[in-house]
Amino acid sequence: MTGRPHVRAEIGKRLAGRVASIAITPRKDDVIEYLRTRLREDTKPDAMDGRLEADILRKIPEDVSEMYVEVTTSDATSSYPLT
């Protein structure tokens, strides 16, 4: 399994095309929930004011929502198609 686009063609060639690609995109709500959890676990909560926390919860999900990973995977031992 790889998320590296520059090796996708090589994997397909070496595995005789027995590969599947799956696009993985983060859900904004999941990113926000993850950030809130991490912020609650902060060992120095007084180091951050409400404005910084709001900026983190606004900016990071915006940037992450523009990213995605396309994963190429293969199961060379199975005769079943990958789904």
Buried b (16+ CB within 10 A) or exposed e, 59-68: eebeebeeee
**Domains in the chain: how many in total?**
2
Domain check: are 63 and 30 in the same one? yes
Domain check: are 32 and 46 in the same one? yes
Q: Are 30 and 5 in contact (CB under 8 A)?
A: no
Q: How far apart are CA 77 and CA 59, in angstroms?
A: 43
- Count other Cβ atoms within 10 Å, centred on residue 19: 19
Query: What pLDDT tens digit does each residue of the chain (83 aa) get?
Result: 666 667 777 777 777 767 777 777 788 899 999 999 999 999 888 888 999 999 999 999 988 766 656 666 655 444 444 44
Q: How far apart are CA 82 and CA 72, in angstroms?
A: 10
Domain check: are 14 and 32 in the same one? no
pTM attached to this predicted model: 0.56
Domain check: are 45 and 32 in the same one? yes
Domain that holds residue 83: 1-25+68-83
Domain check: are 5 and 33 in the same one? no
